[in-house]
Structure 1
């Protein structure tokens, strides 16, 4: 259990760097005279390495050693934050952010594999469902912690939270005993080929990520246009993100009660995507009332949040073997990060060209498109292919 908690904490720490930049952006922009476009680009840089190198990382990390890589990753996140604290221009901030992006990539590829190795049987599905919550939990923790710290000591000194967090996690990883279930042969064996099952699973996750991240990125703007205050819009956005947590707990309960290959899991994935897709039409529409759109945004995540918990739980089965799990995690990271990068600018462009209702329609289409891919993955898993 200690291993799982520590690996999960590494994921929350990595995701907190997303919330950190959201909280510190106004202060950084004011001091370094940066516009909104520049700040948006700097924020998205955390996902760049994942989008470009996720598959490569999944292939090479086992050769380095997953836990060794995770230790280096938390130090990379700490070093990037330290560099940002001394930055005097946008170039230095961008380079520091790229260093954080490299650490983030390694964490999100290595940590779920280590969690899967540390858990067994039904515990593995529940542990992977827990892992699926690391982004909303990390973003919420990061936004709260860094906003409060920066309010008292400024954005530069607030970066010390990341430095301290990275060092503490590195020390914690160093104290863990060797894992007997992960032999050197397992970690250095070639991962082999992945099949249609995995590709269908990660593609459905990528479509989900485009719609989900696009919504969360634009939700404050949508709600403030509807007359809501910025503070209230931010609170509703945080609640929407955190709604993934109880949804993931429900997904874990389904897995424990019915098993990953049960027809119930297929129905849950399909219903999760379709119900959230329909809710998009109520949230992202022209002339909507913010007082109605905000609760519906929370409902989207209560519905859609079941889907990623099931995807992560199915990932070890989709990989087919322990030595291929790292590659599978890298593929999932690549599709998820690509969706997170593409979602906000794509939805923003659609809103500018066709209005909020057009963006709602596109989100519904993405949700619907994810369903047959997810069901194809489950069907092949169910048949044992």
Structure 2
């Protein structure tokens, strides 16, 4: 199989994993009514998808190469299918929680392994473009999940709708295992020497870049999580507020196109990283300016995500370079997953608590400050030389 079909399969795995975020958003009213769950419990179940990434992202990046990234991705698809099947059979909170944690493990392995496989499969001159494509998997997956599972539930019920995850997960796992078998037949001899995963090291550029991404996620996910509440309180109907929120999330897709074009000018990339965050930071107060016309708030939120999405796409494009070597790319992906998932977990409660204590304007100012911090970290990351994998002066992390 040539490079781009393989890349497309890996990308589909990411979209399918991210669709499990949109799935629970679409099915939440039906699940909460059937299982007698409150709003807080449903929100907790939704956020559980990021728990494994926040806790185990670094460990997954370090040890997955020993198991095999493509094989691991196939088992991740099986875990997502198994979790969905378990949720469909659940009669109470405990089994739903266990099922969601199973999906969380599948999501973790997907977001660590798939970008490494994409970067490895892509031709060197197209690697940055392939990685910016990968950066769109969350908004595309969330949009697909929210639409597809709502339609499936409308045709049956929320339990049968989970069957969509079971079918797609099994199909993707079978395809990945077939690709793995073909690869092993074509190159049956494994590379000589020990697997380098346990000896990998990370340098300052990677730590600064993933920290910047984590701070970015705090603000960006916080805005998306609170956007429906903000717009409905400003006077929009819930359906219209949801449509604007989806548009804001999908703004990352055209942002990735901008990012892909910027990678053709390597000298401009460090400034583009910072500029993207500063522009989005300046827009956050407008997006949180409660009292302004609701459409103005919605448009500001869409533009905020468009601007910050350029940063996200460039981070994924830069990941192979800041990793320092192909052997360290899995570890770099794990670190990025851990910081991004931590930001996604902490962002909504952090920004929500600021709104409750100090108002919407204070939330906008906080997101502006977070964007400035992220911009500083990104700038210092781009200014430092990449660490090499054989740098004996650095300690393993």
Structure 2 stretches lacking a partner, 5+ long? 392-397
Pick aligned residue for 2:67 from 36, 52, 64: 64
Instruction: Give secondary structure in 2 for the equivalent of 1:287.
Output: coil
Alignment of 1:1-385 (within 5 A): 1-176=4-179, 177-178=182-183, 184-185=191-192, 188-190=195-197, 191-255=199-263, 257-259=264-266, 262=267, 264-381=268-385
In the alignment of these two chains, the number of paired residues is 381
Change (3 A) 1:234 1:42: same
Cα distance between partner residues in 2 of 1:268 and 1:341: 27
Deviation readout 1:319-366 (Å, 9 max, x if unpaired): 111111111100000000000000011111111000111111110011
Query: More displaced, 267-276 or 175-184?
Result: 175-184
Change (3 A) 1:163 1:252: same
Cα distance between partner residues in 2 of 1:110 and 1:39: 28
Change (3 A) 1:183 1:279: farther
Q: Could you state the TM-score of these two structures normalised by the residue count of structure 1? A: 0.96
Aligned-pair distance for 1:120? 2.6
Cα distance between partner residues in 2 of 1:184 and 1:303: 42
Give the structure 1 partner of residue 395 of structure 2.
none
Aligned-pair distance for 1:175? 2.4
Cα distance between partner residues in 1 of 2:116 and 2:193: 12
CA contact (8 A) 1:250 1:306 kept: yes
CA contact (8 A) 2:136 2:253 kept: yes
Cα distance between partner residues in 1 of 2:194 and 2:94: 37
Aligned-pair distance for 1:383? 10
- How big is the alpha-carbon RMSD for the aligned residues of Structure 1 and Structure 2? 1.7
Instruction: Give secondary structure in 2 for the equivalent of 1:305.
Output: helix
Aligned-pair distance for 1:183? 5.1
Change (3 A) 1:258 1:136: same
Cα distance between partner residues in 2 of 1:131 and 1:381: 25
CA contact (8 A) 2:323 2:386 kept: no
CA contact (8 A) 2:81 2:165 kept: yes
